[in-house]
Structure 1
Amino acid sequence: MRDLKAARVPESNTRWLRLRVMLMGGFFLSLLALAFGRAVYLQVYEQDKLRGLAQDQYVRQIEIPARRGDIFDRRGTPLAQSVEVDSIWVDPSMLPDVKKGARSLAKALKLNGGDTEDLQARLQRAKRFAWVKRQARPQEVEAVKALGLPGMGFTKEPKRFYPQRELAAQVVGVVGTDGRGLEGLELAFDDELSGQNSRLSGFRDAKGRKLLVQGTLDPIEREGAAVTLTLDRHLQYVSEKALYRAVEDAKAVAGMVVVLDPKTGELLALASSPGFNPNTPEALQREAIRNRAALDTFEPGSTMKSFVVAAALEEKVLKTDDVFFCENGAWKIGRYTINDTHSYGWLAPKAILQLSSNICSAKVAQVLGREKLVAYYHAFGFAERTGLALPGEGKGVIPFPKAEVSLATQSFGQGMTATAVQLASAYGALANDGVLMRPYLISKVVDPDGVVLLENRPTEVRRVVSSKVARQVVGMLESVVTKEGTAPKAAMEEYRVAGKTGTAQKADPVARGYSDKRIASFVGMVPADNPRAVILVVVDEPKTDVYGGLVAAPAFKEIATAAMAHLAVPPSRPLAPEVAVAPVVSPVAAKAPVPPKPAPARPMVAEQEGAGEGTVRVPDVQGQVGREAVVKLLAAALEPQLLGSGRVVSQTPAAGALVEKGARVTLELATRP
């Protein structure tokens, strides 16, 4: 009993032990409560933030760029497309030596000194990602892969490709390396063409490589809309070829061409010189990118005289048999003198246009009056944008001519400005029996699922002059291309042509007057009896000759010849009969003449031997002129497509081939010396 009593723990010690246990329990319980509270806080209040931090370590949102929509001509020929190419990137943190790696990459990509330094600086600034080269060529990708450097990556990006190269480059425009439009229709319809970029979730492995977990999206879901133009590839090619030759022959600085369907307002060709290749953006020059035909304004010169005469006839202040005294070539108005290129006496309206008299045109404007002159200029569409949807389209100005000399100069196109499209459209009104049609370049815009976002149709703006007056003026303009007129070089053998020349002085913005530089132009309608095309050619600052009839008219004729054949327009003039050459006959043969056998008539329709129902054999049109070949192919129920002008040098499919009715036969034409 004594031992048990001795083994008892004092009461004070027991209380202290219980206190320590409670304190320790409370301490750990507090820690547990704190941990629990922290867990609740992190799981409830910091949930989104922590999830983002976790995903940032192993999950990546991968942006899949949309495929940019295509641009087509009126017949479906692609003018701009997008292709998938490789872009090269690198994780600089994985390179053993950044400077050495940058030099190796620069050598593989064949970069110059400045680009090498730029690449090295980018790699040194970046931590985990840096572009090496975007939209690289296949050989560059292979060269980089051969280096075997760690941290290299390759990703597919859409790159804009222009299969027709320089063709209609100023109209179509260009895009930057980021896929955004910079000029032309690429800029104007950037939102529609771009489509919507897609984002996919993916994991990142230990080496930083991206792994898709959702698979790829339907390509249609990330594709932009397609844009179809009114331009015709063949007429665009012919126009650019003729314009480049005219600019080169005249040693000019620039030029422009507009081909317009006057009945619909469709722009069939819109060419500017100098040109450029949008596939090589590194070599682009600002001056070459500009679409001069739609953006640039200039003083149109004597081409405006047609509208002065038309307005005066419409207002009945002028009759076709009225005559005006042309002051023998010089007419003083106050302290100014209006001059003609030649000395003329009395001229009727037809002769005023044929000989392009400045003085008599000014006198017609005086009869018409200031208000009416400006009103008719506006009615023909000048000083208002045509709405082609091209960024920066020119508007032009028509100041009210308060002074007598201003009225005179505006009557022959000085002291006012216009664009080439406005001028061609105004002549389209004369060619369309006095009705102005809205010129348009965009036929339709269609998204990938077939929904039409935009569609343009022929739209009548207003009637400017009566049908009678329009035909009277067009008839007068036919005299311009005669030997006595200012543009005999624009005359065509098979088609009646009506047109007008223009030779305008260029304003000097520094001296606030006119310089010795000129703008030469010719605008024509063909065939004159039923115009199918209005063609305007403008040559800026020609140096060999300065007159539109010498510089621009030959280019008009070249374009018009190809256009009439391509559009299958029947001749408006009968062809001159071929003169039969009598064969040389020997005296012996002459004593006993043998009547020749009549030659079998040449069939207009291809022979059908061996052809089944709905098929035809392609006729042989080698060596024939374009018009004859077109007639023969149409008679054979085939669709002709002409490339070039002159006579047929090759045809596809070949002569004798069995094809379906309505099949297209491509003819390559050339002018043989």
Structure 2
Amino acid sequence: MNQRKAPPRQVTTDLKYLGRHRMVLLGLAVLFGGIALRAGYLTVIDSDFLRAQGDARMMRTEPIMAMRGVIRDRNQAPLAVSTPVATLWLNPRQALAADLDISALARALKQSPSALRAKIKRHRDKRFIYLDRHLSPNAADEVLALDFPGVYAMTEYKRFYPEAEATAHMLGFTGLDDHGREGLELAFDSQLAGVEGSKRVMKDLKGHRVQDVALLKPARPGRDITLSFDSRVQYSAYRELARGVAEHNAKAGVLVSLDVETGEVLAMASVPSYNPNNRSQLDMDAVRNRAVTDMFEPGSTLKPFTLVAALESGKFTINSRFDTSPGTYKVLNKTVRDHEDFGVIDMQTVLTKSSNVATSQIAMALPRSTLPLLHQHLGFGQSTGSGFPGESAGLMQPSNRWNPVELATMSYGYGVTVTALQLAQAYATIASGGLQRPVSFTKVDGPVAGRRVIPEAIANSLIPMMETVVTQEGTALRAAVPGYRVAGKTGTAHKASQGGYARDQYMSLFVGMAPASHPKIVTAVIIDTPRKGGYYGGLAAAPVFSRTMADTLRLMNVEPDRSAERLADQARRSGRGG
């Protein structure tokens, strides 16, 4: 039987396909072998590489914002606290790559679409820009729920001031970065500010956080600060000062209260004020703390220190007498005037009636440097060292200008500029028996050693003299406080203007202490340019002092030192200003 043989051409074709098949199999074997080898290498030998690459795509390091310290008053009532808020931010690269609907995002943020579009394009090469800061968590969640690509949220803190206008000038405020910008927020910023921490988080492909993985560095909160202020006293001071400014249609007002025994600032108010919780319509003229920045000539409130210089010199005693007739006194080409002819008066009456003539006579009888050097020793012309940002030093005339006319005017409060804080500290020096204590904005525990500025006997002799100012015969009966003996001095000073003094603009002042038997509190009140109701210190400033001091003594639990009989007698009297 004959067998049929395959044609040669067909055999050749079969061999050709068999060879190709083997080549494909060999290539696939090599490919899969290489993959297996690479997988084994990465898994066994270079596993850290895979882990790092995975982490780079899923792990992120995020900051942990630190909470700012709380500012409290001396009784631990909160005056400034930080609350968590949400801040929305955008990754421009991611948003542009995903073709973000900018108009929809702008509507959600209640912003201008054109402005937002321009902002994103301007920062197209960045990975972070702010969209909106300090939102409520609910408001931020509404935007995040729309799931815009590249939009994320972070937690920040916003400062809140419970007392608002009443403490605005003392506390100041923080900026968007939660750092102090004004006032004690700025002065204590390094202590209040916390230290930012960091954490590692896992995110999905859309950038949403899946979970917190590890705490890399814990955030350290800022330190709490306890101030010397009493929020109740502060509120009373601000309320009564605002009332006084309104009643006299004044330009502005300032009040400072000090604790005599510690130098603590119990209250510091300035009008006009502002709301630190809402600064959208902020008037920068209202921001400055006039109690430490504004300088003015203190007028007759400096006369007690002229008497200090007189008594220290040994040329005068408390029984010395001065002939002030006919109510004028010539010093070179300047005529010094009293508002009436007081005749022959003793040293106590110099303060009671506020005689410019008598203090000028004292200045002319003393060596040229005596009065200016005493003022410098009291701290005029230099900062109190309180540390309050922007504190002014005041101004003392240089020694080459200590001529007779300058000395005469200096004796009744002209030619020297001071701040309200300086003036209050100087009176606290008298109240403490001649010891000057440092001004403190933080609470002080225990007794404070003072610097001897005035001999104790002289300081103590001045207080009964200043009590007569707050009587029927004096210039400030309206400064009286029911139940307490009060000592102090009025001042009514022309305001300086270009080329001289304004004829119809005055600074009205009263500085006093109580209880006069053993002074605990000193309060200075300055009313700037009262336009109605009288401009004398006894009319404009004294009533504010009276109301504020009454509240302060009650709130600080200071016992009365005046008998009911004297109170009844005082109630039958009527007062006048001066």
Q: Aligning the two structures, in what range does the TM-score lie when normalised by the shorter sequence?
A: 0.7 to 0.9
Partner of 1:530: 518
Kindly indicate whether the alpha-carbon contact (under 8 Å) linking 1:72 and 1:228 is maintained by their aligned counterparts in 2.
yes
- State the AA in 2 paired with 1:132: L
Decide whether aligned partners of structure 1 residues 110 and 203 sit closer, same or farther in structure 2, where only a CA change above 3 A counts: closer
Q: Could you tell me which amino acid in structure 2 is paired with residue 301 of structure 1? A: G
Q: Look up the match of 1:642.
A: none
Which residue of structure 1 aligns with residue 478 of structure 2?
489
Shift of the 539–120 alpha-carbon distance from structure 1 to 2, 3 Å rule, reads farther
1:178-221 C-alpha deviation (Å, 9 max, x unpaired): 112111111112121112111233444321334565444787x4
* 1:81-230 equivalences in 2 (<5 Å): 81-93=81-93, 95=95, 101-111=101-111, 117-127=114-124, 128-138=127-137, 140-145=139-144, 147-210=146-209, 213-216=212-215, 221-230=219-228
SS across alignment from 2:166? coil
How many Å apart are 1:566 and its aligned residue?
Answer: 1.2
Q: CA deviation at 1:292?
A: 1.2
| Contact 1:311–1:465, Cα closer than 8 Å, also in 2 | no
Give SS of 2:242's match: helix
| Corresponding letter in the other structure for 1:207 | K
Q: Which amino acid aligns with 1:548?
A: G
**Aligned-pair identity (%):** 38
**For residues 552-563 of structure 1, what are the structure 2 equivalents within 5 Å?**
552-563=541-552
1:347 and 2:345 correspond: yes
- 2:279 partner amino acid: P
User: Is contact 1:109–1:143 with CA below 8 Å preserved after alignment?
Assistant: no
Q: Distance in 2 between matches of 1:441 and 1:369?
A: 38
* Mapped partners of 1:139, 1:199: distance in 2: 25
Give the structure 2 partner of residue 626 of structure 1.
none
User: RCO (CA 8 Å, sep 6+): is it higher in 1 or 2?
Assistant: 2
Distance verdict in 2 for CA 1:493–1:130, change over 3 Å: closer
Tell me, in whole angstroms, the C-alpha distance in 1 between the residues paired with 2:103 and 2:354.
Answer: 68
* C-alpha contact 2:88 2:151 (8 A) present in aligned 1: yes
Unaligned runs of 5+ in 2: 1-47, 569-578
- Distance in 2, Cα, partners of 1:371 & 1:210: 74
Would the alpha carbon gap of residues 342 and 457 (structure 1) be closer, same or farther in structure 2, given more than 3 Å must change? same
The 3 A distance-change label for structure 1 pair 391 and 98 is: farther
Q: Which of 287, 290, 309 pairs up with 1:289?
A: 287
CA deviation map 1:350-394 (0-9, x unaligned): 111111111211111222332111121122222221121211111
Deviations 1:109-142 (A, max 9, x none): 445x6xx654332223233433211101345325
After superposition, the Cα gap between the structure-2 partners of 1:375 and 1:131, relative to the gap in structure 1 and judged at 3 Å, is: same
Contact persistence 1:329–1:339 (CA under 8 A): yes
Letter of the 1:136 counterpart: L
The secondary structure found in structure 2 opposite 1:407 is helix
- Partner SS, residue 560 of structure 1: helix
Secondary structure in structure 2 of the residue aligned to 1:572: coil
Cα gap change, 1:53/1:506 in structure 2, threshold over 3 Å: closer, same or farther?
Answer: farther
Matched residue, 2:506: 518
How far apart are the structure 2 equivalents of 1:166 and 1:103? 39
TM normalised by structure 1 equals: 0.72
Cα pair 1:99 1:120 within 8 Å, conserved: no
Evaluate the alpha carbon distance shift between residue 171 and residue 118 of structure 1 in structure 2; reply closer, same or farther with a 3 A threshold.
farther
The answer for the alignment partner of 1:539 in structure 2 is: 527
Whether contact under 8 Å (1:108, 1:140) holds in the other structure is no
Residues 421, 240 of structure 1: alpha-carbon distance in 2 compared, 3 angstrom cutoff: same
1:572 paired residue among 561, 567, 570: 561
Partner-residue secondary structure (3-state), 1:282: coil
Moved more, 170-179 or 132-141: 132-141
Unaligned segments of structure 1, at least 5 residues: 1-46, 444-454, 580-673
Read off the aligned partner of 2:148 and give its amino acid letter: L
Displacement of 1:295: 2.1
Question: In the TM superposition, what is the alpha-carbon distance from 1:419 to its structure 2 partner?
Answer: 1.2
Contact 1:505 1:517 in 2 (8 A): yes
What CA deviation, in whole Å up to 9, does each residue of 1:390-415 have, x standing for no partner? Answer: 11111112113422110011111111
Aligned residues: 519
Alignment partners' CA distance in 2, 1:422 and 1:328: 35
Deviates more, 1:520-529 or 1:197-206: 197-206
Comparing 410-419 and 59-68, the one that deviates more: 59-68
The whole-number CA distance in structure 1 between the counterparts of 2:207 and 2:165 is: 42
Distance 2:309 2:334 in 1: 26
Contact 1:102–1:123 (CA under 8 A) maintained in structure 2:
no
Deviation at 1:316, TM superposition (A): 1.8
SS at match of 1:195: coil
- Of the structure 1 ranges 131-140 and 516-525, higher mean CA displacement relative to structure 2 is found in 131-140
The 8 Å contact of residues 198 and 216 in structure 2, kept in 1 or not, is answered as: no
| Distance 1:426-1:570 versus aligned 2 partners, 3 A rule | same
C-alpha distance 81-303 of structure 1, shift in aligned 2 (>3 A):
same
Aligned-partner residue type, residue 174 of structure 2: V
Q: C-alpha separation between the residues in 1 aligned to 2:216 and 2:96?
A: 37
Q: Distance in 2 between matches of 1:71 and 1:542?
A: 35
Q: Deviation at 1:261?
A: 1.0
SS of residue in 1 equivalent to 2:508: strand
Residue 65 of structure 1 aligns with an amino acid whose one-letter code is: M
Paired letter, 1:387: G
Structure 1 residues 105 and 540, CA gap change in structure 2 (3 angstroms):
farther
Farther-moved stretch of structure 1 (416-425 vs 511-520): 511-520
Go from structure 1 to structure 2 and tell me whether the alpha carbon gap of 1:103 and 1:346 turns closer, same or farther (over 3 Å shift). farther
- Supply the distance in 2 between the matched residues of 1:578 and 1:513 (Cα, whole angstroms): 41
1:372 aligns with 2:370: yes
Quickly say closer, same or farther: Cα 1:52–1:278, change in 2 above 3 A: farther
Cα–Cα, structure 1 residues 462 and 149, in superposed 2: closer, same or farther, change >3 Å? Answer: same
Counterpart of 1:471 in structure 2: which amino acid? N
Question: What is residue 304 of structure 1 aligned with on the other side?
Answer: 302
Instruction: Give the corresponding residue for 1:654.
Output: none
Identify which range, 208-217 or 467-476, moves more after superposition.
208-217
Report the CA distance shift for 1:197/1:474 in structure 2 as closer, same or farther (over 3 A).
same
Q: In 2, are the aligned partners of 1:89 and 1:154 still within 8 Å (CA)?
A: yes
Q: Which residue of 2 aligns with 1:273?
A: 271
TM-aligned CA distance change 1:422 to 1:103, over 3 Å: same
> Structure 2: how far apart are the matches of 1:511 and 1:56?
72
Correspondence for 1:429? 429
Matched, 1:240 2:253: no
Query: What is the CA-CA distance between 1:262 and the residue it aligns to?
Result: 0.9
> How far apart, CA to CA, are the structure 1 residues paired with 2:53 and 2:268?
55
Distance in 1 between residues matched to 2:567 and 2:245, nearest whole Å: 36
Aligned-residue CA RMSD (Å): 3.0
The worse-fitting range, judged by mean Cα deviation, of 360-369 and 205-214 is 205-214
Distance 2:531 2:53 in 1: 70
**Cα deviations by residue, 1:578-623 (Å, 9 ceiling, x for unpaired):** 99xxxxxxxxxxxxxxxxxxxxxxxxxxxxxxxxxxxxxxxxxxxx
SS of 1:121's equivalent? Answer: helix
